[in-house]
Amino acid sequence: MASQARNPRGALPRFEEAEGLGPQDATFVQDLIAVLEKHGNLERFGLCLLHDHFPLAADEILVETNDTEARTLHTRVEKANQTTHSKPTQWRFLPSVHHSRRAEFASDPYEVVLLCDPYSGCPPRK
């Protein structure tokens, strides 16, 4: 992830700059598969390309919705403390850091990147 190293800690590369998986990542992917398999999570977690299309404020979160009939997926920004969506679907690792922008994940070494919408089969936050 050379493009991420150019950015200050915490900043993600713009989509245009983000480097996708390539042949040079084969050993990394094999190691990741082995760890997921070891913990019984091979069918539970995958991999996504971390990137930004636009900046988010510290009090904002991305929310995913879908329309099953139209077979479309949409993402929008909501205020993190006002969203009714509770099921994270994407995370970002925070190596050697135990904090997140989201209070409910503040002690975890990861940050929630995306939540799902209750209309997408996700239970709403109470």
For residue 122, what pLDDT band results from cuts at 50, 70 and 90? Answer: low
In the chain, % of residues over pLDDT 90: 27
Residue 101 gets the label, from left (phi > 0), alpha (psi -120 to 50) or beta, of alpha
Domain spans of the chain, in order of start: 1-47, 56-126
What contacts 34, CB < 8 A, 6 or more positions away?
none
- Given a contact cutoff of 8 angstroms between Cβ atoms, the answer to whether 63 and 83 are in contact is yes
- Whole-number pLDDT of residue 33: 96
- The pTM of this model reads 0.68
Q: Give the β-pairing of 87-93 and 60-67.
A: unpaired
Average model confidence (pLDDT) across the chain? 78
How many CA atoms are closer than 13 Å to the CA of 72, on its beta-carbon side?
4
Q: By mean pLDDT, which of 23-32, 84-93, 112-121 is the weakest? A: 112-121
Q: Is the pLDDT of residue 111 over 70?
A: yes
In the block, tokens 């997921």 appear at: 36
Question: pLDDT tens digit string along 1-24?
Answer: 333 333 334 678 898 999 999 999
- Whole-number pLDDT of residue 116: 80
More confident residue, 64 or 8: 64
